[in-house]
């Protein structure tokens, strides 16, 4: 909590009882009016991405970068801020990933896995890896990343999804421009409207990637590891979506036990 952290940083005693504080917070949450609650964000889906694809020109430098971010973020269950920058000129190689941090690995059966190393993340000061593989159809993240590289030719020390800006000298060194969250979301929203789709939030990519793997039947703990969750906040994805719950609501006690182990609140 921010208030407790302030006390610790400034050497001020923190005398609140945890159980008492938890009870107060739960009570405040229940009393909060519905107008103050944020509605659930709809997830991106394979179908949504497929519908967006025709409305992006993958030969266009910015569109190639945008499509790369869309597909990689979805299939790697990434936070959007891990692939785009908060604003122009904010690039820091100690904070943001570059093309030099992209590599491929192979498992013991020879299957290729693409890896993007993040030097630092929201939860890890030492960095984490985003992992993804080839996918069937037109929304393959590997094909999207390779197309971005072919169109934009990012240097090893540039932001991974920076893009060329032909005919303009103000787009950074050598006519390049960083892809920011604002410009990314604006372009995706434009494409969504052209496809007659409702524009979605940036975090909907992470939600959508999570649900995609769950709907494939990937075990909960594996998806949790893929999404790099450090807390039980992951459980919200289990309790909100009927499609995921359906297989675990059948008359199969062993499956129900598996679900309950992940979805039920911890014993206090």
Rg (CA), the chain: 21
Give yes or no for residue 60 having a pLDDT over 50. Answer: yes
Give CA torsion, residues 216, 102, 139, 70, to 10 deg: 100
Whether the CB-CB separation of 198 and 42 falls below 8 Å is answered with yes
pLDDT band at 52 (very low <50, low <70, confident <90, very high): very high
The percent of residues above 70 in pLDDT, for the chain, comes to 72
User: Could you give the domains of the chain?
Assistant: 46-206 (1.10.443.10), 232-268 (no CATH)
Q: In this structure, what DSSP letter does residue 261 have? A: H
The Cα–Cα gap between 237 and 209 comes to 11
Segment 29-40 shows an average pLDDT of 62
Tally the C-alpha atoms within 13 A of residue 243's C-alpha that lie toward its C-beta: 11
pLDDT value, residue 83: 96
Whether the CB-CB separation of 157 and 93 falls below 8 Å is answered with yes
Segment 88-93 shows an average pLDDT of 91
Top-ranked range on mean pLDDT: pick from 15-24, 68-77, 166-175: 68-77
Neighbours of 148 (CB within 10 A): 28
The Cα–Cα gap between 77 and 75 comes to 5
Q: What is the mean pLDDT of the chain?
A: 83
Contacts 24+ apart (CB under 8 A), 95-100: 95/119, 95/120, 96/159, 96/160, 97/159, 97/160, 98/154, 98/156, 98/157, 98/158, 98/159, 98/160, 99/149, 99/154, 99/155, 99/156, 99/158, 99/160, 100/156, 100/157
Whether the CB-CB separation of 66 and 145 falls below 8 Å is answered with no
Per residue in 132-149, pLDDT (tens digit) is 999 999 999 999 999 999
Give yes or no for residue 122 having a pLDDT over 50. Answer: yes
pLDDT value, residue 126: 84
The Cα–Cα gap between 251 and 49 comes to 34
Neighbours of 15 (CB within 10 A): 6
Give yes or no for residue 237 having a pLDDT over 80. Answer: no
pTM score, whole prediction = 0.78
């Amino acid at each position: 909590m921010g208030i407790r952290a302030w006390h610790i940083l400034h050497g001020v005693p923190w005398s609140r009882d945890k159980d008492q504080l938890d009870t107060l917070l739960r009570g405040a949450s229940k009393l909060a009016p519905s107008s103050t609650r944020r509605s659930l964000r709809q997830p991106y889906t394979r179908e949504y991405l497929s519908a967006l694809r025709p409305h992006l020109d993958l030969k266009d430098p910015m569109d190639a970068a945008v499509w790369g971010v869309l597909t990689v973020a979805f299939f790697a269950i990434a936070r959007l801020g891990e692939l785009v920058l908060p604003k122009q000129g904010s690039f820091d190689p100690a904070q943001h990933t570059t093309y030099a941090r992209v590599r491929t690995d192979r498992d013991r059966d020879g299957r290729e896995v693409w890896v993007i190393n993040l030097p630092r993340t929201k939860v890890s000061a030492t960095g984490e890896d985003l992992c993804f593989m080839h996918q069937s159809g037109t929304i393959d993240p590997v094909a999207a990343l390779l197309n971005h590289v072919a169109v934009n030719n990012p240097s090893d020390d540039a932001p991974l999804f920076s893009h060329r800006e032909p005919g303009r000298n103000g787009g950074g060194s050598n006519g390049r421009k960083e892809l920011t969250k604002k410009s990314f979301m604006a372009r995706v929203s434009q494409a969504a409207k052209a496809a007659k789709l409702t524009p979605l939030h940036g975090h909907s990519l992470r939600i959508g990637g999570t649900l995609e793997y769950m709907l494939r039947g990937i075990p909960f703990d594996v998806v949790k590891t893929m999404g790099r969750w450090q807390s039980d906040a992951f459980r919200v994805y289990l309790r909100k979506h009927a499609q995921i719950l359906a297989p675990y609501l059948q008359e199969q006690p062993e499956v129900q036990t598996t679900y309950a182990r992940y979805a039920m609140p911890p014993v206090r």
